[in-house]
Amino acid sequence: MTEPTTSDQFNVTAAITPANPRTGDTLTLTISGDDVQTTETSGTIGPLSLSLTAADGATTTLTVDAVPYTLVTSTEESVKITGVSDPTGRVWSVADDGLTATATA
């Protein structure tokens, strides 16, 4: 088995309200969406040797060649805001659920 490879595809949108803030208004940044994490693992099953016995007691061995496999697993994961960097110096507070952040305009 090879080491699994993992990739992430973020499908997230963000919006800030209000659209036309005035000085002192509370700005709210809201995200929605998810991350789809895909893991791929590959390897080989076999070769296998099968011992076979017939009803009359006769025996033989059957060899099954190695077969490659690839296992792909995709998992949807939630995402959250873990920080906001604002070049204006505005300080954003991230909500406990990580889905919103607020700052003063």
User: For 2-9, what is the mean pLDDT?
Assistant: 93
Domain membership flag for residue 59: no
Average pLDDT over residues 77-85: 97
Give yes or no for a contact between 24 and 104, defined as CB atoms under 8 angstroms apart: yes
pLDDT tens digit string along 35-79? 999 999 999 999 999 999 999 999 999 999 999 999 999 999 999
Quick check: is 90 in a domain?
A: yes
The domain containing residue 92 runs over which residues? 5-41+73-104
Number of domains, the chain? 1
Please report the DSSP string for 43-75 in residue order: EEE--EEEEEE-TTS-EEEEEE--EEEEEEEEE
Is residue 99 a part of any domain in this protein?
A: yes
Closest to 52 in 3D by CA, of 37, 67, 64, 39: 64
In a domain, 49, yes or no: no
Task: Return d(Cα 41, Cα 74) in angstroms, integer.
Answer: 12
In percent, the amount of the chain with pLDDT more than 90 equals 97
Per-residue pLDDT, 2: 79
Tokens of 27: 């700005």
Q: What is the pTM of this model?
A: 0.71
